[in-house]
A = this chain, B = another copy of it.
Amino acid sequence: MSLPHAILTALLEKPSSGLELTRRFDKSIGYFWSATHQQIYRELGRLEEAGAIRALPRPDQPTRGQKKEYEVLPAGRDELAAWVGRIEDPKPIRDALLLRLRAAGVVGTQGLEAEVRRHLELHRAQLAEYRAIEERDFGDGRGSEGDRLRHLVLRAGIDLENFWLGWLEAARAELADMGTGAGMAADVRTGPEPAP
């Protein structure tokens, strides 16, 4: 139940049309809550239905192909403010790469080291992107309260990428060590054991 709140936040920061929202979700907010334009249009419809937002009045009547700007109504702002302090447990981790490491413990590490190296590169790039944003938007001293909170969120992204870089590097080293070491063959067989 977070997408509507993400949209409300984005619309409060700046009233926008669906496509503009989609583009803004490709950066900033989308870095930690991504959404496609289909999701966004669907959700905009629901929010309007619920009276949380409204389309800015426009002289023309056709709907398709015509730009439609939305703004947040008081009810939407209240709902968002209430959500900020609501009790909601963190979701457990859900990461396919960790699962693959675990699977590799049973069926062998074939191809995993290359994939780990690839992820290392991707995370390095993401970290660089975050750092560039930090430089650009928060380079000088602290700004408004909103700025400080947004910076805090960006720091989470940066720290997370740093965590991944550290861990992936350790994983890479361990996999490399296994590749050259002994005792691997026993884990890599794919069929039933042949008679000795």
Contacts and interface: CB of A to CB of B under 8 A. Distances in A.
- Interface of chain A, main secondary structure: helix
A155 interface: yes
B87 A115 contact: yes
A159 B163 contact: yes
A29 B102 contact: yes
Interface in A106-150: 106-112, 114-115, 118-119, 122-123, 144-150
Given A145-B184, A146-B187, A178-B148, A33 B163 contact: no
A56 to B, nearest CB: 16
Contacts of A55: none
Interface stretch (A1-9, A16-24, A36-44, A59-67): A1-9
Contacts of A119: 90
Interface in A80-117: 80-81, 83-112, 114-115
Contacts of A8: 103
